[in-house]
A and B are shown apart, each in its own frame.
Chain A
């Protein structure tokens, strides 16, 4: 019962996070317009950078959806099953997905703007992606071991 309450709170948190991400995505549009107006020399970069921002946010949304599905499985009591391991592996791969987008952003801004401040945030983003991905891969391998032990235990008569 306590676990169900906890996972329900986490699920609510995930929903709030998804709404916040969508709002950030919507906020990027006026922000890009504002930036283009204040810096007309880089106004031509507005749409490509906006699309890259949306792609990164789409990865975050996908990660939140996968986490939500995993929590649904935990709520149903189907925790240590192969599908949970597969979901964690998927989350690890999704965590790595923003890296090509960030790399494109890095090269695009470097080619167009000298000493772009975007480079710092790209490095931070790549580091965050790699760390989160490693965390999910570790969790997936831990779950895999648990699933193997569970299967072995179930087949011991």
Chain B
């Protein structure tokens, strides 16, 4: 897939685990895991907003476009 989710990078920057993020954002661990592993087909603005607020980053930090 051309869109890469850099959630693990942002989590490492904030020294936060996926479980902690799940608790703070209010999204289930399994859904965050789907997002982290790049299996997600789409992401809602609400979700992006909540993750960016907790990780104090920009959407561009989380999502990256790479040509195949």
Chain A residues close to B by CB (< 8 Å): 152, 155-157
Interface readout for B19-45 with A: 1 if CB under 8 Å, 0 if not? 000000001000110110001111110
Give the CA-CA distance A156 to B43 in the complex, in Å: 5
Min distance, Cβ B6 to any Cβ of chain A, angstroms: 15
Nearest opposing residue in chain A for B28, CB measure: A157
Q: Which residues of B contact A (CB under 8 A)?
A: 27, 31-32, 34-35, 39-44, 47
Complexed CA–CA distance, A157 and B34 (Å): 8
Q: How far is the CB of B56 from chain A (nearest CB, A)?
A: 20
- Pairs A–B under 8 Å by Cβ, sample size 22: A152-B41, A152-B42, A155-B34, A155-B39, A155-B40, A155-B41, A155-B42, A156-B40, A156-B41, A156-B42, A156-B43, A156-B44, A157-B27, A157-B31, A157-B32, A157-B34, A157-B35, A157-B40, A157-B42, A157-B43, A157-B44, A157-B47
Name which residue of chain B comes closest to A155, CB basis.
B41
Q: Given the complex of chains A and B, what is the CA–CA distance between A132 and B40 in angstroms?
A: 38
Chain B residues within 8 Å of A157, by CB = 27, 31-32, 34-35, 40, 42-44, 47
Q: Nearest 8 CB-CB pairs, A to B?
A: A155-B41, A156-B42, A157-B35, A157-B40, A157-B31, A157-B43, A157-B47, A155-B40
- For the complex, give the distance between the alpha carbons of A152 and B39 in Å: 11
Min CB distance, A152 to chain B, in Å? 6
